[in-house]
Amino acid sequence: MATANARQRARESPVKVTAVLSAIGYVLVLGTFAGVIPIYPELDIGTVNLLSDAIAVVNSVATISLVLGWYWIRNGEVEKHRAAMLTAFSLIIVFLVLYLTKVGGAGGEKHILVDGFPYYAYLIMLAVHIILSVVSVPVVLFALVLGLTHTPAELKQTAHAKIGRIAASAWIVSLVLGVVTYVMLNHIYSWEIPA
Protein backbone atom coordinates (compact mmCIF):
# COMPACT_ATOMS: atom_id res chain seq x y z
CA MET A 1 0.00 0.00 0.00
CA ALA A 2 2.80 2.45 0.90
CA THR A 3 4.58 1.66 -2.38
CA ALA A 4 1.40 2.27 -4.35
CA ASN A 5 0.89 5.60 -2.57
CA ALA A 6 4.49 6.66 -3.22
CA ARG A 7 4.16 5.69 -6.87
CA GLN A 8 0.93 7.65 -7.19
CA ARG A 9 2.48 10.74 -5.58
CA ALA A 10 5.48 10.46 -7.92
CA ARG A 11 3.13 10.06 -10.86
CA GLU A 12 1.20 13.18 -9.88
CA SER A 13 4.29 15.29 -9.10
CA PRO A 14 7.25 14.01 -11.13
CA VAL A 15 8.97 17.41 -11.03
CA LYS A 16 8.82 17.54 -7.21
CA VAL A 17 10.13 13.98 -6.89
CA THR A 18 12.91 14.78 -9.37
CA ALA A 19 13.83 17.93 -7.42
CA VAL A 20 14.01 16.07 -4.10
CA LEU A 21 16.08 13.18 -5.50
CA SER A 22 18.39 15.60 -7.32
CA ALA A 23 18.90 17.64 -4.16
CA ILE A 24 19.79 14.50 -2.19
CA GLY A 25 22.36 13.52 -4.82
CA TYR A 26 23.91 17.00 -4.96
CA VAL A 27 24.11 17.22 -1.15
CA LEU A 28 25.87 13.85 -0.96
CA VAL A 29 28.43 14.80 -3.59
CA LEU A 30 29.07 18.34 -2.35
CA GLY A 31 29.15 17.18 1.28
CA THR A 32 31.69 14.51 0.40
CA PHE A 33 33.92 16.96 -1.47
CA ALA A 34 33.65 19.47 1.38
CA GLY A 35 34.59 16.76 3.88
CA VAL A 36 31.45 17.28 5.99
CA ILE A 37 30.13 13.75 5.59
CA PRO A 38 32.53 11.75 7.78
CA ILE A 39 31.28 8.27 6.90
CA TYR A 40 34.10 7.12 4.64
CA PRO A 41 36.97 4.88 5.75
CA GLU A 42 40.48 6.17 5.11
CA LEU A 43 41.79 4.48 1.99
CA ASP A 44 45.29 3.53 0.97
CA ILE A 45 46.47 4.31 -2.56
CA GLY A 46 45.99 0.70 -3.70
CA THR A 47 42.32 0.85 -2.75
CA VAL A 48 41.91 4.25 -4.42
CA ASN A 49 43.36 2.79 -7.63
CA LEU A 50 41.14 -0.29 -7.37
CA LEU A 51 38.08 1.91 -6.94
CA SER A 52 39.16 4.00 -9.95
CA ASP A 53 39.39 0.85 -12.05
CA ALA A 54 36.02 -0.41 -10.80
CA ILE A 55 34.40 2.95 -11.58
CA ALA A 56 35.73 2.83 -15.15
CA VAL A 57 34.29 -0.67 -15.62
CA VAL A 58 30.92 0.32 -14.13
CA ASN A 59 30.75 3.41 -16.35
CA SER A 60 31.71 1.42 -19.45
CA VAL A 61 28.96 -1.14 -18.81
CA ALA A 62 26.48 1.67 -18.05
CA THR A 63 27.36 3.27 -21.40
CA ILE A 64 26.76 -0.01 -23.21
CA SER A 65 23.40 -0.37 -21.40
CA LEU A 66 22.38 3.15 -22.42
CA VAL A 67 23.32 2.60 -26.06
CA LEU A 68 21.42 -0.70 -26.11
CA GLY A 69 18.42 0.94 -24.44
CA TRP A 70 18.42 3.66 -27.06
CA TYR A 71 18.71 1.10 -29.84
CA TRP A 72 15.89 -1.02 -28.44
CA ILE A 73 13.43 1.83 -28.00
CA ARG A 74 14.08 2.99 -31.57
CA ASN A 75 13.13 -0.53 -32.65
CA GLY A 76 10.00 -0.65 -30.51
CA GLU A 77 11.36 -3.14 -27.96
CA VAL A 78 9.97 -1.38 -24.91
CA GLU A 79 10.68 -4.08 -22.30
CA LYS A 80 14.32 -4.43 -23.40
CA HIS A 81 14.64 -0.63 -23.35
CA ARG A 82 13.22 -0.48 -19.84
CA ALA A 83 15.57 -3.21 -18.61
CA ALA A 84 18.59 -1.51 -20.19
CA MET A 85 17.74 1.88 -18.72
CA LEU A 86 17.09 0.46 -15.26
CA THR A 87 20.38 -1.42 -15.51
CA ALA A 88 22.19 1.79 -16.48
CA PHE A 89 20.57 3.69 -13.63
CA SER A 90 21.43 0.94 -11.15
CA LEU A 91 25.03 1.03 -12.36
CA ILE A 92 25.12 4.79 -11.85
CA ILE A 93 24.03 4.26 -8.23
CA VAL A 94 26.91 1.76 -7.89
CA PHE A 95 29.21 4.33 -9.49
CA LEU A 96 28.05 6.99 -7.01
CA VAL A 97 28.77 4.76 -4.02
CA LEU A 98 32.22 3.82 -5.36
CA TYR A 99 33.06 7.39 -6.37
CA LEU A 100 32.01 8.97 -3.08
CA THR A 101 33.87 6.28 -1.15
CA LYS A 102 36.99 6.94 -3.24
CA VAL A 103 36.84 10.73 -2.90
CA GLY A 104 35.81 10.70 0.76
CA GLY A 105 38.31 8.01 1.74
CA ALA A 106 41.24 9.45 -0.21
CA GLY A 107 40.64 12.98 1.00
CA GLY A 108 40.36 14.34 -2.53
CA GLU A 109 40.81 13.65 -6.21
CA LYS A 110 43.86 12.66 -8.24
CA HIS A 111 45.43 15.42 -10.32
CA ILE A 112 47.09 14.65 -13.64
CA LEU A 113 50.79 15.42 -14.03
CA VAL A 114 51.26 16.43 -17.65
CA ASP A 115 51.87 19.69 -19.51
CA GLY A 116 50.96 21.19 -22.84
CA PHE A 117 48.24 19.97 -25.19
CA PRO A 118 47.46 16.73 -23.30
CA TYR A 119 46.87 18.71 -20.11
CA TYR A 120 44.45 21.13 -21.77
CA ALA A 121 42.67 18.35 -23.66
CA TYR A 122 42.30 16.47 -20.37
CA LEU A 123 40.93 19.56 -18.60
CA ILE A 124 38.42 20.30 -21.37
CA MET A 125 37.17 16.70 -21.44
CA LEU A 126 37.01 16.61 -17.63
CA ALA A 127 35.10 19.91 -17.52
CA VAL A 128 32.57 18.72 -20.11
CA HIS A 129 32.24 15.41 -18.23
CA ILE A 130 31.58 17.19 -14.92
CA ILE A 131 29.16 19.74 -16.38
CA LEU A 132 27.17 17.04 -18.17
CA SER A 133 27.18 14.89 -15.03
CA VAL A 134 25.75 17.72 -12.94
CA VAL A 135 23.22 18.87 -15.54
CA SER A 136 22.05 15.37 -16.44
CA VAL A 137 21.07 14.38 -12.90
CA PRO A 138 17.61 16.00 -12.87
CA VAL A 139 17.00 15.20 -16.54
CA VAL A 140 17.82 11.50 -16.05
CA LEU A 141 15.79 11.35 -12.84
CA PHE A 142 12.79 13.02 -14.49
CA ALA A 143 12.84 10.52 -17.38
CA LEU A 144 13.21 7.69 -14.86
CA VAL A 145 10.34 8.90 -12.66
CA LEU A 146 8.07 9.19 -15.70
CA GLY A 147 9.14 5.76 -16.94
CA LEU A 148 8.50 4.09 -13.60
CA THR A 149 5.13 5.73 -12.94
CA HIS A 150 3.45 5.44 -16.34
CA THR A 151 2.58 2.60 -18.65
CA PRO A 152 4.19 2.54 -22.11
CA ALA A 153 0.93 3.80 -23.62
CA GLU A 154 0.71 6.64 -21.08
CA LEU A 155 4.32 7.64 -21.68
CA LYS A 156 3.40 8.71 -25.21
CA GLN A 157 1.38 11.54 -23.61
CA THR A 158 4.35 12.76 -21.51
CA ALA A 159 7.71 14.35 -22.20
CA HIS A 160 9.45 11.03 -21.51
CA ALA A 161 10.71 10.44 -25.07
CA LYS A 162 11.97 13.99 -25.55
CA ILE A 163 13.55 14.23 -22.10
CA GLY A 164 14.89 10.68 -22.44
CA ARG A 165 16.77 11.58 -25.64
CA ILE A 166 18.36 14.57 -23.94
CA ALA A 167 19.15 12.55 -20.80
CA ALA A 168 20.65 9.61 -22.67
CA SER A 169 22.73 11.85 -24.95
CA ALA A 170 24.19 13.87 -22.08
CA TRP A 171 24.69 10.75 -19.98
CA ILE A 172 26.48 8.82 -22.74
CA VAL A 173 28.82 11.71 -23.59
CA SER A 174 29.56 12.26 -19.90
CA LEU A 175 30.31 8.58 -19.29
CA VAL A 176 32.53 8.26 -22.36
CA LEU A 177 34.51 11.36 -21.42
CA GLY A 178 34.79 10.06 -17.86
CA VAL A 179 36.33 6.82 -19.09
CA VAL A 180 38.69 8.66 -21.49
CA THR A 181 39.91 10.95 -18.70
CA TYR A 182 40.28 7.92 -16.42
CA VAL A 183 42.55 6.24 -18.99
CA MET A 184 44.61 9.41 -19.42
CA LEU A 185 44.95 9.92 -15.67
CA ASN A 186 45.57 6.34 -14.61
CA HIS A 187 47.22 4.61 -17.56
CA ILE A 188 48.87 7.18 -19.84
CA TYR A 189 50.18 9.95 -17.56
CA SER A 190 51.22 10.27 -13.91
CA TRP A 191 49.09 11.70 -11.13
CA GLU A 192 49.12 12.87 -7.51
CA ILE A 193 46.60 13.45 -4.76
CA PRO A 194 47.34 16.94 -3.43
CA ALA A 195 47.71 17.33 0.34
pLDDT tens by residue, 133-152: 999 999 999 999 999 999 99
59-64 LR contacts (CB < 8 Å, sep 24+): 59/91, 59/95, 59/175, 59/178, 59/179, 59/182, 60/175, 60/179, 61/91, 62/87, 62/88, 62/91, 62/92, 62/95, 62/175, 63/172, 63/175, 63/176, 63/179
Q: How many domains does the chain have?
A: 1
pTM of the model: 0.90
Residue 193: pLDDT band (50, 70, 90) is: confident
**Mean pLDDT in residue range 41-64:** 95
DSSP state of 44: -
Whether residue 106 is predicted with pLDDT greater than 90 in this model: the reply is no
pLDDT(132) > 70: yes
Q: Is 117 helix (H, G, I), strand (E, B) or coil?
A: helix
Segment 159-179 mean pLDDT: 96
Looking at residues 11-35, what average pLDDT do you find?
Answer: 91
What is the chain's mean pLDDT, rounded?
93
For residues 173 and 109, the model is more confident at 173
The pLDDT of 30-59, averaged and rounded, is: 92
Q: How far is Cα 84 from Cα 61, in angstroms, rounded to an integer? A: 10
State pLDDT tens for residues 75-102: 999 999 999 999 999 999 999 999 999 9
Looking at residue 70, which CATH number applies to its domain?
Answer: 1.20.120
- Residue 66, domain extent: 2-192
